Amino acid sequence: MSFKDSAINFFHRSATGSTKLRIVLRLVGVTVYVLFTGLFVFMSLLTDRFLNLPELIPESLSIVLAIPFMLAGAVIYIWAVSSFLRLKRISVLLNPPTKVLSDGPYSYCRHPMIGAIILVLLGLGILLRSVSLVFAFTPLFALINAWELKEIEEPELAQRLGSEYIEYKSSTPMFIPRFRSGAKKK
């Protein structure tokens, strides 16, 4: 079995297994993801220091320019989590949705939480004045997440949620929102 198939099966087991298995796998997954994200910040700061890169912008501008990115990311993330909680009315970590979520930010893009994290990383890069976080590590983070979502998570979602997810995927962009005029498609 290939790595991709093993990963898809792992995601499927973590979404459809017993409650105990879902709790353990989801908590491990969240922990690994937080550490993975933190590693990108840590490595970018080491890279800046190792390569003796200049600071991205003056300190006086960093907060002013960083706040819009970080605030937008936080708002989108909270909006996405609240959309999940409204759908399930219980913890998403314990019971992944059994139907496609296409409300709130999910009506504009399929993965608003990842997009929000990318915005926060960009804002953090600006705040820390890190050239490598803004121009290397955040884009790399986005590419790795896009690959994982496209190759592993989305095939599992299609397997678990069927034609409803396939239709949603074909009509909704992955990260960059498409704002529609007029009535929204449901």
What residue ranges define each of the domains in the chain, with the CATH number in brackets?
3-171 (1.20.120)
Q: What angle do CA 111, 117, 120 make, to 5 degrees?
A: 145
Q: Are 143 and 175 in contact (CB under 8 A)?
A: no
pLDDT in tens, 37-67: 999 999 999 999 999 999 999 999 999 999 9
| Helix axis angle, 3-16 to 19-50, nearest 10° | 130
What integer best gives the mean pLDDT of the chain? Answer: 89
Question: pLDDT tens digits, residue range 62-89?
Answer: 999 999 999 999 999 999 989 888 876 4
CA angle 86, 24, 146 (to 5 degrees): 65
For the segment 1-36, what is each residue's pLDDT rounded down to a tens digit? 899 999 888 888 778 888 888 788 878 888 999 999
What per-residue confidence (pLDDT) applies to 186? Answer: 46
Residue found by looking up tokens 């993801």 in the block: 33
